[in-house]
Amino acid sequence: MKSTGTLSVTNVSKKFRVNNNEIHVLDNINLSVKAGEFISIIGLSGCGKTTLLRLIVGLESDYEGDILLDGRKLNGPSLDRGIVFQDHRLFPWLTVEKNIGLGIVGKSDTEKKEIVNNHIELVGLKGFEKSYPYQLSGGMSQRAAIARSLVNQPEILLLDEPLGALDALTRMYMHKELERIWKKENITMIMVTHDVEEALYLSDKIVVMSARPGKLQKIIPVPLARPRDRASVEFAEMKEKVLEEFMLHTEPHFTYTI
């Protein structure tokens, strides 16, 4: 068991100020993540999932509460936390290999090349080293973005709807890939998603958020054995459980419309 990569979020609230109006985006969030865990965050659009990831990665500094990584308080971004943004944000003027190597600093050219090659292999982009982002498919771009975020061997990887733009089949393939990468790199992953099946397939725990202001509604452990079988009865039962959580608390009117 790894000891680095634990995260604890305590009493975190976040407000944005827009034209003298305060928008309360996150309210009293408490979450603790063990090293090497895979966590999914599910919630309606606009409930503050991206904001929470941005706080954890250090892109927003003005918040209440504490976020500790391995017991230390965060102070801005740091190389021990990586993020894959909702839009992949590859630099369009760089080739795939240059994009992946972007964040590597303080390494010799040969070391750098080796790291880049390893990560290209890790995400299965061999043969596309010299391609530009506009020449890649959506899934390939996301894989390149994942590789880019892993080069500095972060302890925690944050993924903001990394597969949101993909079709169902590619998505299932990417789930396997993500699981493989997660196991191989042995790191903590926190993924935002809208897809309950995706969350169930990958996560140790599912965090359900409610909106306005964003709160943690429930944390659901997923005790299923890996690799998980989407067709199994247990999987279906878990799915039912998560969906129920959703319907009851966020869209009660659904229960009496039919």
Partner 1 sequence: MLSKFLLLAGIVHSQKNKIMSFLSVRGNKYLPIKVLEGTLLPGTIFVIWLICSRLNILSKDFFPSPGDVVNGFHEVLNDGSFLDNLGMSVIRVLKGFLLGSTVGFVIGITLGMSRFLEKLITPIFNAIRQVPLPAWAPLLVLVSLGEMSRVLFIAIGACYPVVLNTFEGVKNVRNDYVEVGKVFKFNRVQRFFKIILPSSFPSTLTGLRLSLSISWMLVVAAEIFMTSGGGIGEMMWACREYSRMDLVVVCIIAIALVGFTMNFFMQKMEMFFSFWRLTLKQSR
Ligand X SMILES: Nc1ncnc2c1ncn2[C@@H]1O[C@H](COP(=O)(O)OP(=O)(O)OP(=O)(O)O)[C@@H](O)[C@H]1O
How far is Cα 251 from Cα 253, in angstroms, rounded to an integer? 6
Residues 192/41, Cβ–Cβ less than 8 Å: yes
Q: Report in angstroms how near the CB of residue 161 gets to Mg ion at its nearest.
A: 6
For residue 83, give the nearest of 151, 2, 8 by alpha carbon.
Answer: 151
Q: How many CA atoms lie within 13 A of 238 on its CB side?
A: 26
* By the rule CB under 8 A, 165 interacts with partner 1: no
Q: Report in angstroms how near the CB of residue 111 gets to ligand X at its nearest.
A: 36
* By the rule CB under 6 A, 21 interacts with ligand X: no
Q: Report in angstroms how near the CB of residue 49 gets to ligand X at its nearest.
A: 4
From 50, 149, 188, 193, residue interacting with Mg ion (rule: CB under 5 A): 50
| 190 C-beta neighbours (distance < 10 Å), count | 26
How far is Cα 233 from Cα 130, in angstroms, rounded to an integer? 45
Task: Draw the binding track, 116-145, toward ligand X (x: CB under 6 A; -: no contact).
Answer: ------------------------------
User: Would you give the DSSP letter of residue 227?
Assistant: S
Residue corresponding to tokens 């409610």: 210
From 1, 18, 225, 233, residue interacting with ligand X (rule: CB under 6 A): 18
Task: Draw the binding track, 50-79, toward ligand X (x: CB under 6 A; -: no contact).
Answer: xx----------------------------
Among Mg ion, partner 1, ligand X, none, what does residue 215 contact (CB within 5–8 Å per kind)? none
How far is Cα 234 from Cα 239, in angstroms, rounded to an integer? 9
From 16, 24, 183, 219, residue interacting with ligand X (rule: CB under 6 A): 16
For residue 214, give the nearest of 51, 86, 53 by alpha carbon.
Answer: 51
**How many residues form the binding site for partner 1 (CB under 8 A)?**
25
Q: Which range of residues in 38-46, 77-85, 140-148, 169-177 is near ligand X by CB under 6 A?
A: 38-46
How far is Cα 214 from Cα 202, in angstroms, rounded to an integer? 23
H or E element at residue 156: strand 156-160
From 4, 11, 72, 79, residue interacting with partner 1 (rule: CB under 8 A): 79
Q: Which residues bind Mg ion (CB under 5 A)?
A: 50
Q: Which residues bind ligand X (CB under 6 A)?
A: 16, 18, 23, 25, 43, 45-51
